[in-house]
Amino acid sequence: MGQVVHTLPEGKDVWGVTSLGDEVFVLRDKGRDEIEVYDVITYRLVRCITVPNLRGFADMTSCEHYHCVYIADPFVMCIHRVDVQGGATTRWAVNDEPAGLSVTKAHNVLVTCRVVCKIKEFSSHGDLLREMTLPHDVIHPLHAIQLTTGQYVVCHGGVGDAVHRVCVMNADCTHIIHSHGGQRSSHIGQYNVPIHLAVDDNEFVFVVDVNNRRVTLLSPWLNYIRQVVSRDKLKWKPDRLHLDVQRRRLYVVDDEWKDGEWTAGRVVVFSF
């Protein structure tokens, strides 16, 4: 299992974590200074970024090519693009409620739309490039990542759904090639809300399992390998993650769920 390297400070609930260059970006529900920026080596807070007109939070990802971060805003159904050097911000409409975000090898933005069961691909400046409707048995998709083969790995299954899985889809997302999981369960090899993914350079898949409070590692063919983060390493519930392959660091968002809402959060940094 991964070993804890550092824990970023507790505070407001965290909705995303990512890294660019020598900095780590943490998205919190704060009203202003929503993005906290930490040094990747010392984990010292170096600055904060306020995103104008940010109303809601679902996920955050980053793009090395354009040196920006993207934030999914489900309240106004848009994506915010933040230039992390100059601080300039723009946004574009998704026209559906966005959930998970990722960036493709072509530097485009993949937006997973949970309610309508679609994946939308946008350019960095918000041009809609393609829209894929998932098969009828992929209910409430939460996050998708494009693989080097052009296929997609997708996790799906909300709190009220019977089936909770991770799937590898073909390049058009019309059918499932491999899958892992099934009925909602706490057993090894099953999930209870697999909400977020990360993929390494060899296309091994890390899966955040919210209600089972663990992170699972799967092979490129979605065979179970092991737990990389267990519940005893966490204080609350994991619900987002980011993989820094170069530094061999896994950033896991650990949020408190209390009285029907997210109330606090932190980021735990693991080696792997």
pLDDT digits (tens, 9 = 90+) for 175-198: 999 999 999 999 999 999 999 999
Give the mean model confidence (pLDDT) for residues 129-158. 97
Residue 167 has pLDDT above 80, yes or no: yes
Helix residue spans in the chain (DSSP H): none
| Distance, CA of 23 to CA of 35 (rounded, Å) | 12
pLDDT digits (tens, 9 = 90+) for 196-208: 999 999 999 999 9
Residue bearing tokens 């994506």: 79
pLDDT at residue number 31: 87
Answer CATH for 3-271 from 3.40.50.1820, 2.120.10.30, 3.30.70.3270, 2.60.40.420? 2.120.10.30
- Give the CB-side neighbour count of residue 163, counting CA atoms within 13 A: 14
Residue 272 has pLDDT above 90, yes or no: no
The confidence band for 2, taking pLDDT boundaries of 50, 70 and 90, is: confident
Residue 87 has pLDDT above 90, yes or no: no
Amino acid at 75: F
User: Torsion angle of alpha carbons 271, 85, 113, 140, nearest 10°?
Assistant: 20
Q: What is the chain's mean pLDDT, rounded?
A: 96
Closest CA to 114 of 146, 81, 154: 154
pLDDT at residue number 58: 97
At 64 the three-state DSSP class reads: coil
Give the mean model confidence (pLDDT) for residues 15-29. 97
Handedness of CA 56, 162, 235, 208 (dihedral sign): negative
pLDDT at residue number 171: 97
pLDDT digits (tens, 9 = 90+) for 43-57: 999 999 999 999 999
Residue 1 has pLDDT above 80, yes or no: no
pLDDT at residue number 85: 87
| Contact call for residues 48 and 27 (beta carbons, < 8 A) | no
pTM given for the model: 0.96
